Structure 1
Amino acid sequence: MKNKRLFLILVVCNLLATIVVGQELPTQGGIFEQYMKQAQTFASNYPREKAYLHFDNTSYYIGDTIWFKAYVTLAEQPTFSEISRPLYVELIDQAGHIRDKQIIKLSQGQGSGQIALPKSLLSGYYEVRAYTRWMLGFSEPQYFSRTFPIYQLARGNQSERNITNYDLSTSMDQRPEITKKKLDIGFFPEGGQLVEGIESRVAFKAESNRDGDIQLSGALYSADGKELAKLETMHDGMGHFNYTPTSSPAVAKVNFKGNEYKFELPKALSSGYVMKVDNASGVLSVNVFCDAKTAQDSLAIFISHAGRPYAYKTIYCQADAPQQMTMRTRDLPSGVIQISLINRAGHTLCERFTFCFPKAPLRISASGLKRVYEPYAPIRCELQLKDSSGNPIAGNLSVSVRDALRSDYLEYDNNLFTDLLFTSDLKGYIHQPGYYLVDMDTKKLQELDILMLVHGWRKYDMEQIIGVTPYTPLQRPESQLVLNGQVKSTILKNELKNIGLSVMIKKEEGIITGQTVTDENGRFSIPMEDFEGSEEALFQTRRLNKNRNKDASIMIDRNFSPKVRPLDYLESHPEWKDLDQWRQVVDDFDSLYLDSLRRVESDFLLDEVVVKSKKRKGYMDTKISEKSIDAYYDVRQIVDLLRDQGKIVNSIPEFLEIQSRQFLWDKRDDSYTYRLKPMKFIFDGKILSRVEEKMMLTEIDGLASMIICKGSQAIRDEILNNSSLSGVNDVLDLSTSDDRSMTDDMNRTDPGDLSSTNNGSTSNSNTLNTNKKLDVTNLDEFIFVYLIPLPRHDIMNKNETAAWGTRKTVIQGYTPVLECYSPSYPQKQLYMDRVDKRRTLYWNPTVKTDAEGKAVIECYNNQYSTPLVIQAETMTDGRIGSVTYSTIPVADK
């Protein structure tokens, strides 16, 4: 059935895909014609998808909700995809841990959802990813990614935009870091290689570990010290120069912050090919050069988009006869174009990306808005959707209206247009992508071309596409949500066929049960298409016609997330637009507004307005360190992941031994330390006694999360008081520091670097008294572990451990779609004492325009005077429209 379903999906995709027959320019046919046909067949049989999320805001606070609209399209053209139904949306913290995961139900490629940010969340820079399983089916997995700052809640005189950099254990680091030197320059030869004696265009990018992309200048010198070319960055640390290499690599010398740095260029090949591409005045020109030592062979230039070749030309390159291929860009699709030089064996020799501008995008305009809105004032905005010729379009828009002063603002930010046609086909993080696509002039075109050289390389594997390298999908399309899994024996790990599997799910409205049987490979499938939310489930296995449970491992196929990527410097150090001039406009507005109130309102009302209208702070203030948190774990999520891999985890020590090198477990006396310090476990607001501790640590099911803290700020006074009042006499020692024994003094050692091995014992175990009493006068000697149970779970009374042959877990269905709340203040005088700090004033993922292309947005302002930022996006009839509009125009700022 699964294969049949996949076949039907691919047949439908073939009908949807636009198949463009490659136009064969002067050619000798043969093998390259075959490659062209195979590539066309591959593109039709395996149409790819892209995802984009439109968010309601550009940054968030702990306790906020992230609202989003999902657009899932075919990669070849901006039309909605019907290949996949489930879309997976993940919230990943700065350390690389998945903190939340949603499954969005798509309808004809569209869907919407929300991620609630609990108040227990740590502040930081969080990545939101979105993908279908089919997007992960290729050697180059493709997914949507966007990073947001999530600020702490402001308290007292704190800055409103405040993020803490937590001093976490290295065991928490799941996100790889980009290791950069004080200054680093990367060189990117056009086509991917340098060849001795052939002039090449070389792009470069300069970065610093403290400043990110930097601007600098310098020169290129030969091995004997002769200056060859000038080096100067043009935009975002990128620039280019022309260079004819020799057998000895040239050296780039640059000045940065008063110091000179030297960088050697990549070594040139003694023979080979060089590609040069020009894209100007509506013509794409590709030139191929080689030297006399290069073995002569028939080659082909392929021009492709999203993995589908649109044209190719066979060439026979000689040292004195460079080959050229030209095309009109209007004959190519919009977006990133991949140019590949391929030999007869199907190997890619050179590769280069360029960009074709979109044709006739949709236009969205906003009217009827004021420059500044007073507190609680009504907002009315009329949106107009038209095509490039000015004709009205009836369609669907996703729309957000934001408080401009309290929402971070970045010019040329990501949008539906830049993401689907531009950044999704490039490698790495692109800062302010909209910059490259507006106000085009010669300089901007040159900067765009340099960007293509730096960030454009192998996105679609041509050797795989033309059939030289075999392709087996790494994932399959999902036309509906299905929970797949496998049953294996616990000890031998062999597949168990014909095993009965029953499932019981507890919901508020009752109990849902179901049964299935494993196939010959021990696999099973459970339809989930009508399931919403996340619920606890109990799986039970048994031999058919047997009454006793079968001891088996039940592994669920749900851990297919792509690897976590490193964050770019600018993603964790965003440079928001300076809004001081906007603030000045609002201050002037406030003065006039308050004067008008004095003439018509009471003093009491005036005082309220003055307080609320002046709560405007400066830019983000990042603290250096946090007091106590060393590590935090989503226990339920991690345990489920381990068990899905067939691993056995039944106790807290087993869990910590897997997760952290800082944790040492001496199995001889069943004692534990963390950073060579005794551990105290806190549950239900008090420190556990030794008896309670031994009982608790043998449990892992029913535990939601765990937070490990260090230092004197790791425990609150009320917890110490609760522990004392509860009669836990073997935990607390209220003596002064003078009464501590020498053993206690010996334990105050610097843990230093721990060994990477975890063999359950340590040479220091005999010198550490892990059961010593807690001295409240010196809390730095202890590690405190907070255990947080799942709601309605009784883990102290050992009621959570699953019985033999069963497994408890949480299964996830589609995320229910909620409606963004927007209050109304029809008589604002009645609401002047209402606290309303919303930064997103309006969010609607499905605003419909009428036959005249119009839609009216109505909402109310918050408690502050502010200008507005409106963002509206749409994809209709294969055309994209996007606008970000501020009520105080950029020119006025």
Structure 2
Amino acid sequence: MKRKTIPILVILVISLISFNSHGQDGNTTEIPLTDNINFYSPEKTYLHTDKDMYMAGDTIWFKAYLLDGLTHKKSPKSRVVYVELLDSRDSIVDKRRLYVEDISGYSAIPLPKKIQNGSYGLRAYTKFMLNDAVPYFQNVLPVFQDHTSLKEFSDDLVHNSVKTKNLSMYQEDRTIQIHFFPEGGTLVAGLSTTLALKITDADGNPLDLEGAILDSNRKTVAHFKSDEGLALVYFKPKTNTSYYAMIHDDAQRKYFLPPVSTKGYSLSVKNRDENIIVQMESTEKNGLDGTVVKGYMRGGKIIEHKVDSGQESFYALKIPTKDFPNGMARFTLDNKKGEPICQRTIFVDNKTKEPRLSINISPDKPFKNERTNLSISIKDSMGTPIKGDFSVSITPLENQIHHSGMKDWFLLESDFIGTINNLTIDRIGFELSKPIMDAFMLTKEREGFILNDLEDNNRSVGTSNPEKGIMISGKVTCSANNEKMSERIVSLSILENAYGETQVVDKNGHFSFGPYVFNGKATAILQLKNKNDFPKDSIIVDPTWPKITKNMPHNTENPYLIATHHTSKDYNSDYDHIKSEDYQPGMTYLNEVVVKEKRKTIDQIIMEEINSSVPYSHPDVRVFRDSIPGWYGMSAIDLLARKGFRISGDYPNQSISLLGGSPGSIKNGTGPLVLVDGVPAKGLLNTLRASEVLFIDVLRFASATLYGSRAASGVIAVYTNRTLLSSDYGPSDTGMVKLEIQGFDENTDFKPATLGLNGKNEGTLYWDPKIEMDASGIYSMEFFSGNQIGKYVIEIKGITENGQIVNESRTFEVSL
């Protein structure tokens, strides 16, 4: 498989002072991004959904992109992407596991018709990403019970979006806040500086105002005019002088700048499109001797330049940008000890390399439910068709929030720690000036950007390894004979495929089977083969689904949204889709088997193990959590309701009947006797989530007599995950554990409406997660326009084969 790398940058050093015998090129180290890219570079995910807002009962159609964080091409590490739908309490409502062969996979999540109103999160991640500062990508998706609520919300976004204010709009509350951000971090006397100003109200809303910078002698040294609450000024601070800002028409207040240092360094970085000019200055003679300039992009170091010894107080580099990828470039100036002195971040947006998109529909303004043709062309600046992986959606404009898109995530937000607010790359490129982007970068220096030194072979990778498929792992624990741990043998049997293998545990008792690739669910049995030799040993099974233990370091949600607090398949044996170059040694692809009967002998052993842990012989009803579809978002009582038991009341004040009469209150003790892991637990059943339950036994009539008069209304015996301990199932003192493993979700295809003029066609008109271009680079299809007049939006997203991001849209209008 061909190795993907970023072209090595060529550094041209320009001397602005006289040089000594060491030469004017200094000591430039070109950083090769080869093997370290594969091992150290981060991964990034992104979700393209068919729309941004949903109605109860809708289906969320989505495509998950998985890229190498440095090249924005195929990741050489993970093949497994986890997608989770979360409620406002971060509880998982539904989830999907996708197998990504190249750079994307797609599926769908149907929303229940009775889902509660609120803002839901849809996040995507790989297990390897959990090592990083940005562990996942997440979108916020508002969900509504009725169209009226959705329409009102959409209208509010249009009319009440975050807007900048000027002073004439701001007479009632004249609270103004100004924050100052010197280039390089410090104002130094005698060194020219660029100073960014961030001007907001007390709530952080940007203010567009005019003013000036004055010194302690009331002499004006610079003027400014903010745009989006941001402004830049240029001046050279003096010793023994203080500076302050004043707003025109508000001369009563002074906003003081940071104090001026008498000694120090400055680092100035200017983006001149074709070149980046890096200038360093020091107040000390020969103060730059031995200093080092380092450059980073997309999480990795790309250049390192050691300044010549013997230099005086000024030095400059000219760096061509023709081979730079788009995104943030951060430069640091380190002293002789390798300690950073100054830092500066700029944004590189080389539009000459961006793909050219053409989106056309015919007719240009279709009638309601009219057959409409769509054509999409993606070419480079020379008109040559571009290959890549793209997706397209067509939805009502009112379903879109217009939050930051794919470019913003991959080029800005995913490498950034802090809040982005309302500034997007497209707005900067087409509406705002470069100085505003420069000011924006300066204001974010304190919050920080994510850097990884890819050449550091001693850096920590983290505890979560990349996954090529589904892994089944765990540990054997024992209270004796630890010195013989290497003699423990664990076997794995996958019942549906009649597949099995054994493994000797490592010195710490760990075992790991896989990776496996299969769709649907599988039943696996883990067994300690030599249990008789080690009777005190137990098996603990690791969770088969990762658990997020840290939150995002910054807010990637839309600023308008505030979460409200309420809310048998065959195995895939078609190996033709697996490219030979993608084959991973050790990968196990399970054969297709139609399951007609389970291995009863093993199941009987498992059931005997369960029955031996309960004081009664056989329950009247046994409900296994994993046997209930969609249990992720349920309560324990919901599991019983799905089995036909009569439930009344609202969570958490519910009543239940086991005997067919009127429901009795669980909370007040007038209903069935509730036992949790064998202990009476009055009222606890109301608070248990299904995720905490392994299985529930129901005892009625004669079966309940064991518990006497307390069980007149029956018994509900709940057994939690501790019953067969592990994070999901375990530990099992019998040396055997049964697991129900969720495999990969199959691709779900969208079925567009095929209607006549009188048909009904609402919501998403079209969704294609896998656009296929013809030889001339054209994608063509037809769809029926909506049955509602108004505006609709066509949105195309994706990645070209050379790592360029595509994120374009076009609106059209449906008329009567």
Q: TM-score, normalised on structure 1?
A: 0.64
Partner of 1:844: 768
CA distance in 2, matches of 1:718, 1:46: 52
Secondary structure of the 1:368 match is: strand
Matches within 5 A, 1:586-601: none
Matches within 5 A, 1:409-448: 409-410=401-402, 413-430=403-420, 431-436=422-427, 438-439=429-430, 444-448=433-437
Given that 2:31 and 2:301 are in contact with CA atoms closer than 8 Å, whether structure 1 keeps it comes out as: no
Partner of 1:824: 754
Query: Which ranges in structure 2 are unaligned for 5 or more consecutive residues?
Result: 155-174, 568-619, 638-647, 671-680, 700-716, 725-731
Matches within 5 A, 1:192-211: 192-206=185-199, 210=203
Given that 1:372 and 1:866 are in contact with CA atoms closer than 8 Å, whether structure 2 keeps it comes out as: no
- AA matched with 1:529: Y
CA distance in 2, matches of 1:209, 1:498: 67
* Percentage of identical aligned residues: 21
Counterpart pick for 1:887 among 790, 812, 816: 812
Matches within 5 A, 1:71-220: 71-119=65-113, 121-137=115-131, 141-142=133-134, 145-154=137-146, 158=149, 160=151, 186-206=179-199, 210=203, 212-215=205-208
Partner of 1:521: 508
Counterpart pick for 2:469 among 481, 487, 490: 481
Measured at CA, do residues 23 and 883 of structure 1 come closer, stay the same or move farther in structure 2, by a change above 3 Å? same
Measured at CA, do residues 41 and 873 of structure 1 come closer, stay the same or move farther in structure 2, by a change above 3 Å? closer
Given that 1:393 and 1:849 are in contact with CA atoms closer than 8 Å, whether structure 2 keeps it comes out as: no
Measured at CA, do residues 505 and 563 of structure 1 come closer, stay the same or move farther in structure 2, by a change above 3 Å? same
Secondary structure of the 1:451 match is: helix
Partner of 2:376: 383
- AA matched with 2:541: I
Given that 1:402 and 1:842 are in contact with CA atoms closer than 8 Å, whether structure 2 keeps it comes out as: yes
CA distance in 2, matches of 1:718, 1:551: 38
Alignment deviations for residues 349-376 of structure 1 (CA, whole Å, 9 cap, x no partner): 2222223333332222122334554443
Measured at CA, do residues 34 and 136 of structure 1 come closer, stay the same or move farther in structure 2, by a change above 3 Å? farther
Answer yes or no: is 1:530 the counterpart of 2:506.
no
Please tell me the root mean square deviation across aligned C-alpha atoms, in Å. 5.0
CA distance in 1, matches of 2:209, 2:373: 47
Secondary structure of the 2:782 match is: strand
Partner of 1:868: 792
Given that 1:89 and 1:130 are in contact with CA atoms closer than 8 Å, whether structure 2 keeps it comes out as: yes
Answer yes or no: is 1:400 the counterpart of 2:383.
no
Deviates more, 1:875-884 or 1:782-791: 782-791
Partner of 2:344: 352
CA distance in 2, matches of 1:150, 1:423: 21
Partner of 1:592: none
Alignment deviations for residues 793-842 of structure 1 (CA, whole Å, 9 cap, x no partner): 544454854364555665343222111122311x334x3xx5x53x2111
- AA matched with 2:748: L
- AA matched with 2:393: S
CA-CA distance at 1:334 after TM superposition: 3.2
Given that 1:291 and 1:319 are in contact with CA atoms closer than 8 Å, whether structure 2 keeps it comes out as: no
Given that 1:395 and 1:876 are in contact with CA atoms closer than 8 Å, whether structure 2 keeps it comes out as: yes
CA-CA distance at 1:94 after TM superposition: 3.9
CA distance in 2, matches of 1:308, 1:788: 43
Answer yes or no: is 1:57 the counterpart of 2:57.
no
Measured at CA, do residues 93 and 291 of structure 1 come closer, stay the same or move farther in structure 2, by a change above 3 Å? farther
CA distance in 1, matches of 2:739, 2:45: 29
CA distance in 2, matches of 1:730, 1:848: 57
Aligned residues between the structures: 680
Measured at CA, do residues 572 and 873 of structure 1 come closer, stay the same or move farther in structure 2, by a change above 3 Å? closer
CA distance in 2, matches of 1:380, 1:401: 12
CA distance in 1, matches of 2:553, 2:497: 44
Partner of 2:594: none
- AA matched with 1:824: T
Partner of 1:241: 233
Measured at CA, do residues 792 and 295 of structure 1 come closer, stay the same or move farther in structure 2, by a change above 3 Å? closer
Alignment deviations for residues 203-258 of structure 1 (CA, whole Å, 9 cap, x no partner): 243556756545456665667887765565312x33333463867975666799x9
CA-CA distance at 1:400 after TM superposition: 0.9
Given that 1:370 and 1:887 are in contact with CA atoms closer than 8 Å, whether structure 2 keeps it comes out as: no
- AA matched with 1:438: G
Deviates more, 1:816-825 or 1:280-289: 280-289
Given that 1:289 and 1:317 are in contact with CA atoms closer than 8 Å, whether structure 2 keeps it comes out as: no
- AA matched with 2:270: D
Given that 2:479 and 2:537 are in contact with CA atoms closer than 8 Å, whether structure 1 keeps it comes out as: no
Given that 1:80 and 1:110 are in contact with CA atoms closer than 8 Å, whether structure 2 keeps it comes out as: no
Measured at CA, do residues 704 and 71 of structure 1 come closer, stay the same or move farther in structure 2, by a change above 3 Å? closer
- AA matched with 2:105: G
CA distance in 2, matches of 1:295, 1:48: 36
Measured at CA, do residues 30 and 388 of structure 1 come closer, stay the same or move farther in structure 2, by a change above 3 Å? closer
Matches within 5 A, 1:426-575: 426-430=416-420, 431-436=422-427, 438-439=429-430, 444-455=433-444, 459=449, 461=451, 464-465=453-454, 467=456, 470-474=458-462, 478=466, 480-483=468-471, 485-487=473-475, 489=477, 497-503=486-492, 515-533=502-520, 539-541=526-528, 543-544=530-531, 546=533, 550-556=537-543, 559=546, 561=548, 563-565=550-552, 568=555, 571-573=558-560
Measured at CA, do residues 267 and 317 of structure 1 come closer, stay the same or move farther in structure 2, by a change above 3 Å? farther
Alignment deviations for residues 591-627 of structure 1 (CA, whole Å, 9 cap, x no partner): xxxxxxxxxxxxxxxxxxxxxxxxxxxxxxx99x77x
Q: TM-score, normalised on structure 2?
A: 0.69
Answer yes or no: is 1:811 the counterpart of 2:747.
no
CA-CA distance at 1:387 after TM superposition: 2.2
CA-CA distance at 1:708 after TM superposition: 12
Secondary structure of the 1:848 match is: coil
Partner of 2:603: none
CA distance in 1, matches of 2:218, 2:256: 13
CA-CA distance at 1:843 after TM superposition: 0.7
CA distance in 2, matches of 1:482, 1:721: 41
- AA matched with 1:872: I
CA distance in 2, matches of 1:29, 1:540: 70
Partner of 2:642: none
CA distance in 2, matches of 1:391, 1:726: 73
Given that 1:436 and 1:448 are in contact with CA atoms closer than 8 Å, whether structure 2 keeps it comes out as: no
Deviates more, 1:297-306 or 1:203-212: 203-212
Secondary structure of the 2:184 match is: helix
CA distance in 2, matches of 1:476, 1:787: 27
CA distance in 1, matches of 2:188, 2:451: 23
Answer yes or no: is 1:369 the counterpart of 2:362.
yes
Measured at CA, do residues 309 and 344 of structure 1 come closer, stay the same or move farther in structure 2, by a change above 3 Å? same
CA-CA distance at 1:259 after TM superposition: 13
CA-CA distance at 1:84 after TM superposition: 2.6
Partner of 1:17: 5
Partner of 2:587: none
Alignment deviations for residues 135-166 of structure 1 (CA, whole Å, 9 cap, x no partner): 455xx5445634323222118x6554569xxx
CA-CA distance at 1:844 after TM superposition: 0.8
